[in-house]
Structure 1
């Protein structure tokens, strides 16, 4: 009996040692290291602002307190960054990617350029679901949906190469008949804002969080107006701005908006890690990500930058992406036709 008790105690000691050793290894791994966030859009835009704000706070919530740096890698609507994180970045827990989640739908629809399979990324989380709104300059003459619907010439909207900023206008043009001319090729929303302010564009449809945090002066001065929101429910601070789905006249139009806009919103701003990153490091990043988004210091800076915070967990992103890959083939075919 005594021998069994001693044996049991010995097992407990070994288990405890393994636990302590594991914790020490976990802590030691990130100590003195640098974690790189690869952002697929240019500096100064909404994606960049979220990444840089996170980078200033996330390290203190990881054992070993690593340093974080942001590396902008714009191009092809952030496809270059998505491919880099998937193919070139080492799966060592030291690289995060932050790019347009609409690329996942593009890859599913068979568009060229995607050198990844979305379900194989390791999902860390998203700071917010996408809340797309259409903001147009006062100089464009489009201050309301009535004027937009009645426009005799297509309204020029700027866009990068992919994501909601491209897909939402295309879906709205088809589903509700909005006169739109997309001007592609911008590296990020900072460039789009400059083009709109110079009169080259009327505006764009992209994240309301990005609009209000980076186009603050235009909104406050009245030089920029938000005329439409592509959401299932109105945002509290846009309560008088109409919803796109309210202009849909057919079941097909409503379904296109549901699948192509509303369902895609949660995955629009993902933070991911390369495939085959060790699961324990993925879990460390997931936990640190969520803890950072509750950190009072982070929240104070986010409020100052007018960044909303409404986290989507890595586990949720993983499930949503898997579900999108099971979308009805007929609806996928229609979406592909609309988004071509």
Structure 2
């Protein structure tokens, strides 16, 4: 386990190289006291998915280490590919430390693509914590596959995928499956990845992916029961910015390896560039916790200190890898660097993906 954690930390340090030079240390937190308060942690997804699992694991520990030990309640506000709950946070959150937002790539992508449903501005917020994650694609044994080596069998199958929407985190599988040449019907409108998994369990869809925390908790038992077949992980980035195997799932090929198994070639070209851009925004910088615009620096620092302190808690040390995988949650300069990476994309790639979504899926995005 130690080796996997160390690998994950080196990956994070590579992604955030130079970030410590930003000098983002926070001020003292002595004046902050949240005793007797209730903090709402808004999760703009349905219960049971990766973001919900992530927040519910962290919430009691955050309560334990924030000044005054306030109650931290996870509030699910799904809808609109996560834009509904995020818009709610942007409109209602006061700068008093009593409302926290948890975002994922599904929240970043509509923002990056100019989705007209977005009424929030990431640059307004102050980041309290960032945590990369991964994800695993799996299918049903009823298609005849027994493991990753059989992935080529999917080339002539009609696949159905339960999607939150073309501008959600499900854009990564949309672009990835398209690059692989799979025939996939993306059924839009699901409120969270947890709902997608339930649809898979009911036999309504035959290919799915879950972020690492949800996969470990909810899909691994299906694999062990012979009801799901893992195919590949999205992978992680190493210090050189290359896709390598996810240390949480070292026995599974990365997306790049799976592509090579299918085609005999290393992925390249404009379509891969688009996939890679959204993979980077969606996974190395996926889970982030924010406080609203105008939150005093001492409150931000109190949250950051609590997130750091809880990582030494015995319960965290005993359970974090089993729940979250081999990914380190970070604050300060490292979190800021991941925040910037996850909310930035070149205009050229934005236009390329937006044009494709409009032409092939009828998705209309906002103007630049």
1:314 to partner: Cα distance? 5.0
Partner residue of 1:131? 134
Q: Are the structure 2 counterparts of residues 149 and 271 from structure 1 closer, same or farther at C-alpha, using a change threshold of 3 Å?
A: farther
> What does 1:248-327 align with in structure 2 at a 5 Å threshold?
248-303=266-321, 305=323, 307-323=325-341, 327=345
Alignment counterpart, residue 234 of structure 1, candidates 242, 245, 250? 245
What is the CA–CA distance in structure 2 between the aligned matches of 1:150 and 1:196, rounded to whole Å? 16
Partner residue of 2:22? none
Secondary structure in 2 aligned to 1:63?
Answer: coil
* Unaligned residue ranges in structure 2 (runs of 5+): 1-27, 236-242, 260-265, 359-368
Alignment counterpart, residue 199 of structure 2, candidates 195, 198, 222? 195
Q: Are the structure 2 counterparts of residues 139 and 320 from structure 1 closer, same or farther at C-alpha, using a change threshold of 3 Å?
A: same
Secondary structure in 2 aligned to 1:124?
Answer: strand
Check the 8 A contact 2:29/2:302 in 1, yes or no.
no
1:87 to partner: Cα distance? 1.5
Partner residue of 2:349? 331
What is the CA–CA distance in structure 1 between the aligned matches of 2:314 and 2:167, rounded to whole Å? 31
What is the CA–CA distance in structure 1 between the aligned matches of 2:323 and 2:225, rounded to whole Å? 18
Secondary structure in 1 aligned to 2:284?
Answer: helix
Count of residue correspondences: 316
1:301 to partner: Cα distance? 3.8
Partner residue of 1:243? 254
1:64 and 2:82 aligned: no
1:308 to partner: Cα distance? 4.5
1:145 to partner: Cα distance? 6.3
Partner residue of 1:45? 49
1:97 and 2:101 aligned: yes
Partner residue of 1:161? 165
Greater RCO (CA < 8 Å, at least 6 residues apart): 2
Q: TM-score, normalised by structure 2?
A: 0.77
Alignment counterpart, residue 124 of structure 2, candidates 106, 120, 123? 120
Secondary structure in 2 aligned to 1:49?
Answer: helix
What is the CA–CA distance in structure 2 between the aligned matches of 1:23 and 1:172, rounded to whole Å? 44
Check the 8 A contact 1:89/1:274 in 2, yes or no.
yes
The CA RMSD measured in Å over matched residues stands at 2.6
Q: Are the structure 2 counterparts of residues 293 and 178 from structure 1 closer, same or farther at C-alpha, using a change threshold of 3 Å?
A: farther
Check the 8 A contact 1:125/1:271 in 2, yes or no.
yes
1:74 to partner: Cα distance? 1.2
Q: Are the structure 2 counterparts of residues 87 and 142 from structure 1 closer, same or farther at C-alpha, using a change threshold of 3 Å?
A: farther
What is the CA–CA distance in structure 2 between the aligned matches of 1:228 and 1:256, rounded to whole Å? 19
Q: Which has the larger radius of gyration?
A: 1
Check the 8 A contact 2:107/2:169 in 1, yes or no.
no
1:222 and 2:226 aligned: yes
Partner residue of 1:152? 156
1:81 and 2:80 aligned: no
What is the CA–CA distance in structure 1 between the aligned matches of 2:52 and 2:327, rounded to whole Å? 15
Q: Are the structure 2 counterparts of residues 47 and 70 from structure 1 closer, same or farther at C-alpha, using a change threshold of 3 Å?
A: same
Partner residue of 1:108? 112
Q: TM-score, normalised by structure 1?
A: 0.83
Check the 8 A contact 1:172/1:178 in 2, yes or no.
no
* Unaligned residue ranges in structure 1 (runs of 5+): 1-21
Q: Are the structure 2 counterparts of residues 260 and 338 from structure 1 closer, same or farther at C-alpha, using a change threshold of 3 Å?
A: farther
What is the CA–CA distance in structure 1 between the aligned matches of 2:213 and 2:54, rounded to whole Å? 10
What is the CA–CA distance in structure 2 between the aligned matches of 1:98 and 1:49, rounded to whole Å? 11
1:155 to partner: Cα distance? 1.1
What is the CA–CA distance in structure 1 between the aligned matches of 2:48 and 2:59, rounded to whole Å? 15
What is the CA–CA distance in structure 1 between the aligned matches of 2:172 and 2:297, rounded to whole Å? 34
